[in-house]
Amino acid sequence: MSVARTALMLSAMLAGALISAQALAQDVATDASADRGRDLVLKHCNRCHSLAATGPSSEPTAPPFRDLYKRYPVENLGEALAEGILVGHPQMPEFKFAPDDVTAVIDYLTRIQSGTAKPTP
């Protein structure tokens, strides 16, 4: 095997390893963000919305968070979370989240959608 070919193979392997490391770092960052999002929805939303894998929300008109994708593209809820959710069930207070909190809540909601990951027990 030529030196040039060996160098090319090593470069390709190194590039693959770097891409894998970047993807892993992104996954870890997203997991940490989703964990923070879980803490936020436990604090602000759990009273009415179910965060569990099964079962209804305690407020009948509040959708379980695991099923939000049936009503909205979850990734599109960021603007509403940042500007203030004014719709929802009748008892829902207005919420406005800071940009980092919006990202965290969206990461969490994305994680728990039915069939995609294990919701909070």
Does residue 93 sit within a domain?
Answer: yes
Each residue's pLDDT tens digit, 7-18? 556 555 555 544
Is 12 among the domain residues? no
In a domain, 10, yes or no: no
Domain region containing 101: 32-112
Q: How many CA atoms lie within 13 A of 58 on its CB side?
A: 8
Residues of the chain under the 50 pLDDT cut: 17-18, 20-28, 117-121
Q: Name 54's Cβ contacts closer than 8 Å, sequence gap at least 6.
A: none
The pLDDT, as a whole number, for residue 87 is: 63
Task: Look up the CATH number of the domain holding residue 49.
Answer: 1.10.760.10
pLDDT of residue 9: 60
Q: Is residue 39 part of a domain?
A: yes
What per-residue confidence (pLDDT) applies to 57?
93
Confirm whether 51 is domain-assigned.
yes
pTM over 0.85? The answer is no
For residue 117, is it within any domain? no
pLDDT for the residue 70 = 86
Cα 30 to Cα 35: distance, rounded to the nearest angstrom: 8
Number of domains in the chain: 1
What is the dihedral sign for C-alpha 55, 56, 58, 64? positive
